[in-house]
Amino acid sequence: MKSTGSNSTAEAFAGLHGVAPAGVWSAPGRVNLIGEHTDYNDGFVLPFAIPQRTWVAAAPRSDGLITLASVVDGSVVTAQPLDLASLAPGVEGWAAYPAGVAWVLRQQGITGGADLVIDGDVPHGSGLSSSHSLEVATALGLLGLAGVEASAADIAKWVQQAENDFVGAPTGLLDQTASLCCTAAHALFLDVRSGQQEQVPFDAARHGLEVLVIDTRVSHSLVTSGYAERRAGCEEAARLRGVAAVRDLDTEAGLPDELQPLVRHVITENARVLDTVALLRSDRYEEIGPLLSASHASLRDDYRVSCPELDVAASAAEKAGALGARMIGGGFGGSAIALVPAPLRADVEQAVLEAFAAQGFGAPRMFTAIPAAGAGRDL
Ligand code: ADP
Ligand code: MG
């Protein structure tokens, strides 16, 4: 396996620019234990950071250009240099993510020109939020070069503006807040409306359990998928009921037929987050399993954002002994998680591989996710 980290990213920078970077910043991907499609409804989420990260090595430039390079499969890919003064939405491909952050920070009067070299090991398009790990690491790098300290809440908001207004993905606050604020050995209980956070100890291993991530390798696109449609449906429901967000509703009754299942998902999912937090606090980890499975059923049947590969991953894992399983992330592909008794892990993996093969799906990638540290400066 290739070794990726702050040192190798600094070396890649030196190889490309002939000098050491001024610093290296990094930010993790995330798994959301529960609380899906609740963030843009002002609700509750419970993510934890994964060990896979994105690193950004950066140095200032005096000519107002942003240069971007990324190490992809061991070789360096460079993007067209961008002039900050004329930077505007419309940048294509991967460069849009760091460019969007530079664009937002320039509007704040923060960004100057910079050379950025990126490396990372968060799988792309797997629902583990490689895009937000890249955006958060970029934001920390550009802030660091400018010597500006900003609150996590501000950075999260700027990154959201970059995804929404520059990249064009109508995502909420979950992913970047997780990447910024999660800490090792904890899940982050976040009330998106108030911004209130609680670090909840989360140590599955101590309970003889593992969180197995099953990356279906079906890649999704939050720019083109039904994500925006679901979000618009929720906003319409809130508008019809005269409330700020679906978070404020306690029943779907009386809403138009097509909006009822969306609202039902959000109401029940918020309740499942609160129940999961209560179970974690009282060390009743095994009882979380059924909540994960109920979340999956709700995302599949009410919110309708699952896909055959995610359904097969969840059901095969459960049949082989997982206590519960669910899709994570926006849906339409990406990853599922399963809460697995450690002694059954090999059986569950085998069962998932066999079920995928039987359906003619490509082999999924699996790993155990252990809560890791959030974003910061490495070098
Ligand atoms: P997810 O966030 O679930 O991984 P997205 O589609 O939101 O999926 O974001 C994936 C995209 O983010 C990639 O296709 C790529 O454009 C960009 N990206 C993420 N990490 C990197 C990286 N290390 N180098 C270049 N681009 C990256
Ligand atoms: Mg993303």
| Phi, psi for residue 284 in degrees, rounded to 5 | -100, 65
Atom of ligand 1 nearest to the CA of 123: 4
Q: What is the DSSP string of 346-364?
A: HHHHHHHHHHHHHHTPPPP
Cα–Cα dist 46/200, whole Å: 9
Atom of ligand 1 nearest to the CA of 54: 23
Query: According to the model, what pLDDT value does residue 227 have?
Result: 85
Query: According to the model, what pLDDT value does residue 1 have?
Result: 43
Cα–Cα dist 42/44, whole Å: 7
Cα–Cα dist 18/310, whole Å: 45
Q: Which residues pair with 190 in a beta bridge?
A: 45, 197
- Please tell me the number of the ligand nearest to residue 329's CA: 1
Query: According to the model, what pLDDT value does residue 286 have?
Result: 97
Our mutation pick for probing the ligand 1 site, out of 13, 97, 159, counting the most ligand atoms within 8 A of Cβ, is 97
Q: What fold characterizes domain 4-195?
A: Ribosomal Protein S5; domain 2 (3.30.230)
Check 39, 119, 175, 378 and give the catalytic one. 175
Active site residue 175: yes
Query: According to the model, what pLDDT value does residue 224 have?
Result: 62
Cite the residue boundaries of each domain of the chain with CATH code 3.30.70.890.
203-369
User: Along the 379 residues of the chain, how does pLDDT read in single tens digits?
Assistant: 457 899 999 999 999 999 999 999 999 999 999 999 999 999 999 999 999 999 999 999 999 999 999 999 889 999 999 999 999 999 999 999 999 999 999 999 998 999 999 999 999 989 999 999 999 999 999 999 999 999 999 999 999 999 999 999 888 999 999 999 999 999 999 999 999 999 999 999 999 999 999 999 998 765 566 888 999 999 999 999 999 999 999 999 999 999 999 999 999 999 999 999 999 999 999 999 999 999 999 999 999 999 999 999 999 999 999 999 999 998 999 999 999 999 999 999 999 999 999 999 999 999 999 999 999 999 9
pTM of whole model > 0.75?
yes
Distance (angstroms) between ligand 1 centre and the Cα of 264 equals 31
The answer to whether the beta carbons of residues 116 and 25 sit under 8 Å apart is no
Distance (angstroms) between ligand 2 centre and the Cα of 368 equals 20
Our mutation pick for probing the ligand 1 site, out of 36, 94, 135, 216, counting the most ligand atoms within 8 A of Cβ, is 94
Q: Is 129 helix (H, G, I), strand (E, B) or coil?
A: coil
In CATH terms, the superfamily for domain 203-369 is: GHMP kinase, C-terminal domain (3.30.70.890)
Residue 211 host element (H or E): strand 209-215
Report which protein residue has its CA nearest ligand 1's atom 24.
70
Distance (angstroms) between ligand 1 centre and the Cα of 248 equals 33
Our mutation pick for probing the ligand 1 site, out of 8, 101, 119, 131, counting the most ligand atoms within 8 A of Cβ, is 131
Query: According to the model, what pLDDT value does residue 225 have?
Result: 66
Atom of ligand 1 nearest to the CA of 330: 3
Cite the residue boundaries of each domain of the chain with CATH code 3.30.230.10.
4-195
Cα–Cα dist 49/38, whole Å: 18
